[in-house]
Amino acid sequence: MKIAVAKGDGIGPEIMDAVLNIFKANQVPLEYVIVDMGKWVFDKGFSNGMTPESQQVIEELGILFKGPMETPKGKGVKSINVTARKTWNTYANKRVFQSLHGVDTVFSKAGIPIDITIVRENIEDTYGGIEHMPTHDVALSRRFITRPGSLQVIRYAFEMAKKNGARRVTCGHKANIMKLTDGLFLECFQEVAKEYPELKSDDVIVDDLAMKLVVRPEEFDVVVLTNLQGDIISDLCAGLVGGLGFAPSANIGDHISIFEAVHGTAPDIAGKNIANPTALLLSGIAMLRHLGYMQNAAVIENALLYTLEQGVHTGDFGDKSIPGKNTTEFAQAIINNFGKIPEHGAKPVIPNAHVTPTLFKMDQNQMMVSDDSKDEQEYIVGVDMFIESSEQPEIIAKKCKRHGGVKFNLINISNRGTQVWPTGSVYTNLVNQYNARFESIDGSPLVQQDIIGLYVSLSGNFKIGSFELLNVMNGKKAYSLAQGQ
């Protein structure tokens, strides 16, 4: 079977060669097609960090095994790692964090075993990178949480948990503050959880989750989160088991999947043959299982675990009284231990069950729409106008009221989300962007032409950076209130 391989930047080529040598020694039945991705491709003028030929190969093969990659700084280009995940809709980022004997942490020394799987939504949230500066003093980022995207990754988390015999699935969120965005994600979690009554399901506010993971990590099993929160929490979990050098990552999509180490390119040690290949090897082992090569995966993982138990290590971890191995020597030690069984965490060796990725030749983009969206009763009841001004709230309110006409009431004015009119406090510090909220006078539905008319009229007094419609869906307000409203 052919897969695409991108060796990456910095230490990427060294650790990738080490892993592929381990695979070769174990006679893993894979053929590798090397593709061009990374910083040097950016430098050649390809703004997405990959050549068109590489993109075509990856889409034809369906599997990408990649080393760490660098995104040039200060050139206005997007991260190649994020671009790849989003381009191919690898919507679930699965990271498994397990205690490794031979990798000392405060938890291993205390005899507390860790086995946590983080499933992070991989496409949406603030990672859309949609940002604007409506004024010199204000930068805005648009956050997308969608029902179809949330259902997709949450259902994957439950299916994976069921398949792997997990006992608990936890949703991490901040729905107490972001009531619409995180609220939607939590609502989707609760909806999907009903389909899996055999699994315990619960939810935890993400800051509380962070504390509990540090204090009692052994209580958690599978945790599913939104993109940004999942990114932060997964790195926290990496710290529990020894760092990013022991953190594998699988980016799972319906048609294309990416397996990679999540650590950086470490340019300070690149070319010295001293980098630790463990994270990339663990990612490769996850890829082998994904492809059905269960026997190869188990033999290689058992050899890795046995090697670590024997105290063999690279220079970044382990007993400093024992000389560290270089990258090549560490890989060879694993090869020499094929067939040996570790004392802790041994994996059962079962026959390979070759799985060919299901590939579809896409002739157009897929539209994801939730089943109940077409049944929603939706209408407009107002608008939030984001205006630029350095004046005081009372003066702004006086001007805004002139433009309401016979259809709009000025309901409130907020600044950075805090209400400053009709009530507020002189102790609230202000920036030069306000949100003026207008609603229909009698609560009757409005049309977009009404909003545009208000926009045109209001623009006579203010620069309007943007506006958002105030929708009501199925009798519920589909917008948040200001702090203090």
Could you read off the pLDDT of 66-99 as tens digits, one per residue?
Answer: 999 987 776 566 788 888 898 899 999 999 999 9
Q: What is the tens place of the pLDDT at every residue in 238-250? A: 999 999 999 999 9
Interatomic CA distance for residues 330 and 346, integer angstroms? 20
Average the pLDDT over 128-155 and give the result.
93
**Confidence at residue 86, expressed as pLDDT on a 0 to 100 scale:** 87
Q: What is the dihedral of CA 179, 185, 191, 192, to 10 degrees?
A: -160
* Best CA proximity match to 115, nearest among 301, 241, 236: 241
Q: What is the mean pLDDT of residues 150-175?
A: 97
Total Cβ atoms within 10 A of residue 143:
18
Residue 114 C-alpha from the chain's centroid: 22
Summarize pLDDT for 329-374 with one digit per residue, the tens.
Answer: 999 999 999 999 999 989 999 999 866 666 666 667 778 877 665 5
- State yes or no: pLDDT of 408 exceeds 80: yes
* Residue-by-residue DSSP string for 117-183: EEEEE-S-BGGG--EEEEETTEEEE--B--HHHHHHHHHHHHHHHHHTT-SEEEEEE-TTTSTTHHH
Return the pLDDT at 474: 87
* pTM, entire model: 0.90
> If you average pLDDT over residues 387-404, what whole number do you get?
97
Average pLDDT of the segment spanning 387-396: 97
Cα dist. 46→49, 70, 87, 238 in Å? Answer: 6, 14, 15, 32
In sequence order, what DSSP letters do the residues of 88-134 get, joined into one string?
TT--EEEEEEE--TTS--HHHHTT---EEEEEEE-S-BGGG--EEEE
Domain ranges of the chain: 2-336, 376-477
The span from the CA of 6 to the CA of 54, in Å, is 9
pLDDT in tens, 296-310: 999 999 999 999 999
Residue 41: per-residue pLDDT? 87
Stated length of the chain: 485
> At 401, is the pLDDT very low, low, confident or very high (cuts 50, 70, 90)?
very high
Q: Look at 462 and 369; give whichever has higher pLDDT.
A: 462
Helices 12-25, 278-290: crossing angle, 10 deg rounding: 50
pLDDT level of residue 376 (50, 70, 90 thresholds): low
Q: Could you tell me if 15 and 282 are in contact, meaning their C-beta atoms sit under 8 angstroms apart?
A: no
Exposure class string for 407-430: b at 16+ Cβ within 10 A, else e: bbebbbbbbeebbbbeebeeeeeb
Instruction: Give SS3 for 26.
Output: coil
Q: Which amino acid would we find at residue 165?
A: G
DSSP 75: S
| DSSP symbol at 432 | S
Among 255, 235, 222, smallest CA distance to 90 is for 255
282 φ, ψ to 5°? -60, -35
Domain 376-477 is in which class?
alpha beta
Domain 2-336 CATH assignment equals 3.10.150.10: no
Tell how far CA 334 is from the center of its chain.
Answer: 31
What are the φ and ψ backbone dihedral angles of 368, each rounded to 5 degrees?
-100, 120
pLDDT band at 48 (very low <50, low <70, confident <90, very high): confident
Check: CB of residue 101 under 8 Å from CB of residue 308.
Answer: yes
pLDDT for res 375 = 58
Q: Tell me the pLDDT band of 465, cut-offs 50, 70 and 90.
A: very high
Cis peptide before 277 (omega within 30 of 0): no
State what percent of residues in the chain have pLDDT above 90. Answer: 81
Arithmetic mean of pLDDT over the chain: 93
- The answer to whether residue 378 scores a pLDDT higher than 70 is yes
Rounded Cα distance between 145 and 122, Å, is 11
- CB count within 10 Å of CB 139 equals 10
Question: Which bin fits 420, alpha (ψ -120 to 50), beta or left (φ > 0)?
Answer: alpha
Write the CB contacts of 204 (distance below 8 Å, at least 6 apart in sequence). Answer: 170, 171, 172, 173, 212
Q: Are 334 and 280 in contact (CB under 8 A)?
A: no
pLDDT over 70, % of the chain: 96
Local structure of 172: helix, strand or coil = strand
Q: Ranked by mean pLDDT, which of 36-40, 205-209, 318-322 comes out on top?
A: 205-209
